[in-house]
Structure 1
């Protein structure tokens, strides 16, 4: 049975790109989708959970975790490394802990190393 992976991160349309020099919505989405495709090719069932606001992120991710038993949940660098989103990050870690206690939690450093982050814990 394939391991199930959820990649959680900001939707490319809501990222503050001034904080991420050289990153564009197209590069962000392309990097994440390429990592998801590589994971799929390696035999993982992969879903990208794009979040659009701190106000809806908790409910959205909790719903996804109730609907599917994931083996690994990765919370993206844009959520984790941006001090402006510290509380969103903290809340999401606790949502994963509550709704998917069996899942490993992984963290990437950017949109092109999600596969490596997930494979560390899968």
Structure 2
């Protein structure tokens, strides 16, 4: 079984944001992971925990098992104001899961496609 950790924001915790489209995309992506035989471990970060608690939860999850790929969601990497968090998350993955492929997505629903591409790149290195 291929183990994938998907890290992103819990859309229900983002202020002044309609969570419905993102929540639907996460659900669609999770179904696609299952259909592809990929074991998805979903870690949704509470937007209010950007004071270090989120990083601690990420480290804890990264230490629980070996992952073949870690997906870092667009909400973590796209807003310029979150660049420091994005850098921290990438480094945490690199330090705690050095053999895992790292993937990024455009939307929650296309996550499995990007994970498959990252896994292929890892196999071909």
- Judge same fold: TM > 0.5, yes or no: yes
RMSD, aligned α-carbons = 1.3
* Structure 1 residue ranges (4+ consecutive) displaced by more than 4 angstroms after TM superposition: none
**Deviation sequence 1:58-117 (CA, Å, 0-9, x none):** 111111110011110010111101111111110000100111001110000122211111
User: Hey, what does 1:21 align to over in structure 2?
Assistant: none
**Count of equivalent residues:** 116
- Relative to the length of structure 2, the TM-score reads 0.86
Structure 2 residue runs of 5 or longer lacking an equivalent are 120-125
Structure 2 CA distance, aligned partners of 1:76 and 1:17? 19
Partner of 2:7: 8
> Residue 122 of structure 2 aligns with which residue?
none
Which runs of 5 or more residues in structure 1 are unaligned?
19-23
The yes-or-no answer on 1:100 pairing with 2:81 is no
- 1:3-42 correspondence to structure 2 within 5 Å: 3-15=2-14, 24-42=18-36
